Amino acid sequence: GDSVTQMEGPVTLSEEAFLTINCTYTATGYPSLFWYVQYPGEGLQLLLKATKADDKGSNKGFEATYRKETTSFHLEKGSVQVSDSAVYFCALSDRGGGADGLTFGKGTHLIIQP
């Protein structure tokens, strides 16, 4: 079945550092890929998405490129801020595989220190 693997945290960085959170996936069809963010005590919000190979999703300074050859969708940001502290989830939607709903990774807790 489908699966998503992402680096587990916590990941602790200093403000203005470069961020990479790795995400790789396994899917039977041609999935769409997502990054969701969860701030403390809140629900999940879509951060960015890509629906086909080589697409780049971007939002709020975050970027991720859909790499079919490496089955990856790594999240990057050039200069993180304290307000970026949250849990980040990589997810896929593989409608072509017959499944429905989102398949999530376990989440990466990001802590940004001033």
Comparison of 32 and 74: residue with beta carbon closer to another protein: 32
Q: Given CA atoms 108, 92, 99, 29 in this order, what sign does their dihedral have?
A: negative
Cβ at position 16, least distance to another protein in Å: 29
Q: Residue 8 or residue 54: which is nearer to another protein going by CB?
A: 8
Q: Which is nearer to another protein, 27 or 81 (CB)?
A: 27
- Write down the least CB distance from residue 113 to another protein, Å: 23
Q: Point out which residues bind another protein (CB under 8 A).
A: 4, 8, 31-32, 34, 36, 42-46, 49, 51, 89, 91, 93-96, 100-107
Taking the complex as a whole, the smallest distance from the CB of residue 35 to another protein amounts, in Å, to 12
Whole-angstrom distance, CA of residue 24 vs CA of residue 91? 10
